[in-house]
Amino acid sequence: MAISALFAFLLLGDWPHYRGPDYNGIAVGSLHQKPLETAWTGQVGTGFSGIVVAEGRVITMGNEGNHDLVFCLDLASGKELWRYSYSEPLNPNMYEGGPNATPTVHGNRVFTLSKSGLMLALDAKTGKVLWQRRAAEFDAKPPIWGFAGSPTVFGDLVLFNVGDHGLALRMADGTQQWSSGGPGAGYATPIPLTDGKTALLLAGSSLFALNASSGDVVWRYEWKTAYDVNAASPILLGTKVFISSGYGHGCALLDISGEVPKLVWENKSLRSHFNSAVAKDGHIFGLDGQSGSRSRLVCISAQDGRVVWEQTGMRFGSVLAVSDTLVVLEERGTLIRAHLDPAGYREIARQELHEKKCWTVPTFADGSLFTRDARGTLLRLN
């Protein structure tokens, strides 16, 4: 199973879906200036949906008055271009609540997924509904904290982490291509492989390789985590894949070049509660820890999983790489920039951005950083 070239940008500088154009949390640009300055501010409702940027539009989701909203803002000014609203409980189960999943933009369409399982295709220019489906139609039940995996476009299909090992709808009209049904969904986003046939999906208790067209299981690797919280997206490293989960579980590297996956190594060096790490030059950088607690920023060797360096005293949060800069947004709103360097931790700058909880990973697009907090304050930083 070959995993070679990175995915091509739709437009240079766009960030059209969760974890960016190549599904790896890595952007190209410069973030060395200090401090970053706020270009504009928006309000997008309560939630943890990520921010996508495509063709001059900024799109994300939030919740107000037990209604989810899909917001589309002008990239240059932050002015609202359109919004679409539908009834959806806030469902603040041990956190603020609101949407978990990040929208996906493909061509002139925006695809979204709500916590209860409403799947929408909207016109990217107007917000008009093109089609909608519900998870219940496919006998799929949401996990404890609601559906969270973002939609993934694969050819003419849209893949969802809905059901025991996913669901595929036809992008054109929302009709079913295949469905697995059941209550076993995970919280991670499906990842396409570059063979043009296969997708990886981290479900509630296993990692699946799926034939994206038929839904057939190519292979399955058991990966059980407390409360079935497998939320951090897998990271592709050549012919290998890195997976990590929290609640004390740990991480592993699998060789997926053959017909079945083979364990290369497994340990507890990096326990990703729900935000993914980033990888560069044979090293993996991420936050090891749980939400609401102290964490450590670690750099581990992809070859053997050993900790190369660690920076203690960090708060839980998320990471993003912008060329040679590692961006850390702690859950209390502190933005930290450091060198993305396996030689050691070297901080560039830090600044306080948000007063409310920050679990949403930042986005880098059009030369700017975009961040949001749980109560919906969205910033564009230049």
The pLDDT value recorded for residue 4 is 36
pLDDT string in tens for the chain (382-residue length): 444 333 433 445 899 999 999 999 999 999 887 899 999 999 999 999 999 999 999 999 999 999 999 999 999 999 999 999 999 999 999 999 999 999 999 999 999 999 999 999 999 999 999 999 999 999 999 999 999 999 999 999 999 999 999 999 999 999 999 999 999 999 999 999 989 999 999 999 999 999 999 999 999 999 999 999 999 999 999 999 999 999 999 999 999 999 999 999 999 999 999 999 999 999 999 999 999 888 999 999 999 999 999 999 999 999 999 999 999 999 999 999 999 999 999 999 999 999 999 999 999 999 999 999 999 999 999 9
Handedness of CA 34, 40, 43, 44 (dihedral sign): negative
Residue 193 is encoded by which pair of tokens? 């492989």
**Quick check: helix, strand or coil at residue 190?**
coil
The pLDDT value recorded for residue 68 is 99
**Model pTM score:** 0.95
CATH numbers and ranges of domains, the chain: 26-381 (2.130.10.10)
The pLDDT value recorded for residue 13 is 85
Place of tokens 């043009």: 196
Handedness of CA 335, 61, 47, 228 (dihedral sign): negative
Residue 277 is encoded by which pair of tokens? 């790490």
pLDDT > 70 fraction of the chain, expressed in percent and rounded: 97
Q: How far apart are CA 94 and CA 92, in angstroms?
A: 6
Mean per-residue pLDDT over the chain, rounded:
96
Phi, psi angles (nearest 5°) of residue 164: -65, -35
Phi, psi angles (nearest 5°) of residue 108: -100, 20
Q: How far apart are CA 272 and CA 252, in angstroms?
A: 11
The answer to whether 254 touches 262, Cβ cutoff 8 Å, is yes
The answer to whether 333 touches 354, Cβ cutoff 8 Å, is yes
Residue 184 is encoded by which pair of tokens? 């076993």
**Quick check: helix, strand or coil at residue 272?**
strand
SS3 content of the chain, % helix, strand, coil (to 5): 0, 45, 50
The pLDDT value recorded for residue 33 is 78
The answer to whether 193 touches 234, Cβ cutoff 8 Å, is no
The pLDDT value recorded for residue 293 is 82
The answer to whether 122 touches 129, Cβ cutoff 8 Å, is yes
What's the maximum distance between 2 C-alpha atoms anywhere in the chain? 51
CA angle, corner 109, sides to 191 and 278, nearest 5?
Answer: 30
**Quick check: helix, strand or coil at residue 135?**
helix
Other beta carbons within 10 Å of 119: 24
Place of tokens 């060797």: 301
The pLDDT value recorded for residue 3 is 41
Phi, psi angles (nearest 5°) of residue 149: -65, 135
